[in-house]
Amino acid sequence: MTVTPLAGLDDAQLQAATTLRGPLCVLAGAGTGKTRVITHRIAHGVDTGAYSPSRVMAVTFTTKAAGELRGRLRALGVPGVAARTFHAAALAQLNFFWPQLAGGSAPSIVNGKVRALAHAVDGLGFDPGPAALRDVAAEIEWRKVTMRSIEEYAVARPRGVAGLDLEQVIDIQRAYEKLKDERHQLDFEDVLLACAGMIEAEPHVAAAVREQYRHFTVDEFQDVSPVQNRLLELWLGERRDLCVVGDASQTIYSFAGADPQFLLGFADRHPDARVVRLDRNYRSDAAVLAVANDLMRDRPGALSLVAASGAEPGPQPTLTTYPHDGAEAAGVARAIAAQIAAGTDPHDIAVLYRTNSQSAPLLAALAERQIAATVLGGKRFFDLPEVRQALLELRAATVAPLETSFLPTVRDILRRSGLTDEPPPAGGAVRDAWEARAAILRLAEEAPAGTTLRAFTDDLLARAKDQHEPSLRTVTLATLHAAKGLEWHHVHLVGLAEGLLPISYATTPETIDEERRLAYVGITRAARSLSLSWARGTGQRERAMSRFVREIGSGSLRAADARAMSGARVARGSSQSASPDPAVR
C-alpha cells in the first residue's frame, strides 16, 4: 500500500511539509508533531522528485532519535535517507577522508574522558580526585563546543572548579591534549572540530561532501552548539536547502554549549527564510497545556499551545505540599497505586524529577506497594544480559525448522530462562529481568500473522541497532533531561521546591531560565493528567516552594490534600491544609 506523504497533516504542518526549497524554520511547540512534519516533508520531497533519498541528510542529537527517523521514513516508503547525529555524520566523514589526507587510519576515540584525564594528571604533582576531574571534563567539553582555544577559555571562564584554581584547570587541559596527541586519539568534541577543519581546509573534501548531501534537515535546532552550527554551515556551502526544527522553550542544554539564538535568529541570518509555527498540541489535555502556557508566558520564543482535540479539559492538574521527602514519595506511590487499580497500565505513568538522587525514596515507596519501576537512563534494554541471552537462544532456534508457529518456541525459551506466569516481588534485579523477558514475549504475541522465527529475530536485531526498545509494563522514573522527547498519559512531577527545581546552583537569570524550561519539559510530557508536588524539608532544613509554582499561579492548579494522598499526618499538625502557599491561592 502506498503511503500518501501529506495525508493527515494539519494546515500548519502541511505548509511546512510542502516547503521543499530554500531555508525553512519550523518553530514546533511540544507535542505538535515535529517528527511527523520532518519525515513527511522528506517523503513528499522524494515523492515529487524534488529530492533524491541519497542526497538528503537528516540530523538529530541522539542515536535513538536518528533510528526513529529512519524507521518512520522506511514506513513512508523512503529508505536510504541518511538520518544521523552530528557526531556520527562527522565521524563517518573523518574516517572516509583521513586516509586520503594523512595516510593511515583516523585516530581512535577516547574511551572515557575522565579516565584519560586521570592519566594526564599523573605528572602534575597534585591529585584533583574523580569529582574535580568530572568538572574539568565538562569544562573541556564546553570549551570545545563553543570553539575556544585554551587561552580563550582562560579569559571566558576566569575561575577554577571544585577546589582547583584556574591555573591548575589549564594545566590539566594542556596535559590532557598532550596525552591524546601521544596516543593518536580524539575525543567526542574533537570529532566535530576536526571534521569542520578538514572541510574548511581541503576544497576537494568540501566539494565531495556538498555533492553527496544537498538537502539538510536539523531536528532539535534549539540545542545546536556553535561548533555544530559551524559544521552545518560547512556542509551546506552555498546551498540553501536547509530546514531547521525546534522549540526555544525546550532549550535544556545551555550548560553544554547549546545556543537557542541559532533557532530564534534563523530568519535574521536567512532573510528569505519561511517561518512556520506549529502550536496545535496533539499530546496533552487542555488543562495540562494551561499550566505549561502559564509557566512560559512572555518568555522569548515561547509558543502558546492549543489542544488539538477541542474536547473539554480533563482533570485539573494538582499541587500537593508534603512535610518531608519520605511523605512525598509515599504520597506519589499511593496515587500511582490508585491509578493502576483503576485500570491504568503502569507504563503509561511516569515520575519525573530534577536529579538522579531523588529516585531512591521513590523506588523504595513504589516497591513497598509492589509496583515495578524502571529508571530511565540505566542500562539499555538490548544490553541487558537476559535480553542478550534470549536473542542468542532465539537466533540458534532458527536453524531447525518449526512444525508449529514461532510463538511456542519463543515462550518456551523465555520460560526456561526464568519467565514465570506471576511476576516476582517488585524492587530488585530479579523483577527487572522478568519484565525484560515479558516484554520480548509481548512483542512475539503482537507480531503480525505469518511472522516466522527468523523474521522475528531479525526484527529484534533491527530494534537493537536503532535503539527501538519495547515498552516495559513498569512505572518510569526519569530526570527531566532524560524525559525530553518522551510522553506518558500520567505524569507526577516531584520536588518543586527551591534548591531542587530550580537547582541550588542556578543563581543567574540565564540559569534560572534554563531550570524553568526544564520544568516546562516535564509538564508537557503529560497527556492526560499532571500532578505536581513538593516537600517542605527533610527535618534538618526547611525549603520554600519553587518560584515556578508561583509563576503558574492558582488559575490552572488545584491544591490537593497530602493526607489523602499519603495517609500521613502533615508535619505541622493534622488540621493543617495541604494548600499551596498564600502567594498562589
Collect all residues with Cβ–Cβ distance below 8 Å to 12 and sequence separation of at least 6.
276, 277, 278, 279, 280
Annotated binding site: 28-35
CA distances to 40, 436, 456 from 442, rounded to whole Å, are: 30, 10, 12
pLDDT for 579 equals: 41
Residue 558 in contact with residue 529, Cβ under 8 Å?
no
Residue 29 in contact with residue 281, Cβ under 8 Å?
yes
CA distances to 33, 398, 415, 469, 500 from 406, rounded to whole Å, are: 36, 9, 14, 21, 50
* Maximum pairwise Cα distance, the chain: 78
* Torsion angles phi and psi, residue 266, rounded to 5: -60, -45
pLDDT for 273 equals: 93
What's the CA gap between 281 and 278, in Å, rounded?
Answer: 8
Between 188-201 and 86-102, two packed helices, what is the crossing angle to 10 degrees?
A: 60
pLDDT for 565 equals: 53
pLDDT for 8 equals: 86
Cell of 6: 501529506
Per the rule left: phi > 0, alpha: psi between -120 and 50, beta: everything else, 152 is: alpha
pLDDT for 402 equals: 66
The CATH number that domain 287-378+475-584 falls under is 3.40.50.300
The helix or strand, by DSSP H or E, that contains position 215, with its residue range, turns out to be strand 215-218
pLDDT for 540 equals: 67
Q: What is the 3-state secondary structure (H, E, C) of 494-527?
A: CCCECEECCECCCCCHHHHHHHHHHHHHHHCCEE
pLDDT for 583 equals: 39
Three-state DSSP state, 232: helix
pLDDT for 399 equals: 76
* Structure letter (DSSP) for residue 55: G
What's the CA gap between 90 and 194, in Å, rounded?
Answer: 9
What are the E-state strand segments in 56-205?
56-60, 82-85, 108-109, 185-186
Locus of grid cell 520532518: 38
Three-state DSSP state, 559: strand
What's the CA gap between 105 and 97, in Å, rounded?
Answer: 9
Residue 562 in contact with residue 578, Cβ under 8 Å?
yes
Residue 501 in contact with residue 299, Cβ under 8 Å?
no
pLDDT for 330 equals: 94
pLDDT for 159 equals: 78
234: Cα separation from own chain's centroid: 27
**Residue 26 forms beta bridges with which residues?**
245, 276
**Residue 533 forms beta bridges with which residues?**
320
pLDDT for 222 equals: 94
Q: Give start and end residues of each alpha helix (H) in 237-324.
A: 261-264, 266-269, 286-296
Please name the CATH architecture into which domain 11-90+192-278 falls.
3-Layer(aba) Sandwich (3.40)
474: nearest Cα among 336, 357, 329: 336
Annotated binding site for ATP: 28-35
pLDDT average per 10 residues of sequence, the chain (585 residues):
74 94 94 94 93 93 88 88 93 93 88 91 85 90 94 87 86 94 93 95 94 94 94 93 94 88 93 94 93 93 88 85 93 95 94 91 91 81 83 81 76 86 79 85 84 86 77 89 93 95 90 95 96 84 91 85 53 35 40
pLDDT for 580 equals: 41
Question: Using alpha carbons only, what angle is made at residue 34 by residues 29 and 36, rounded to the nearest 5 degrees?
Answer: 150
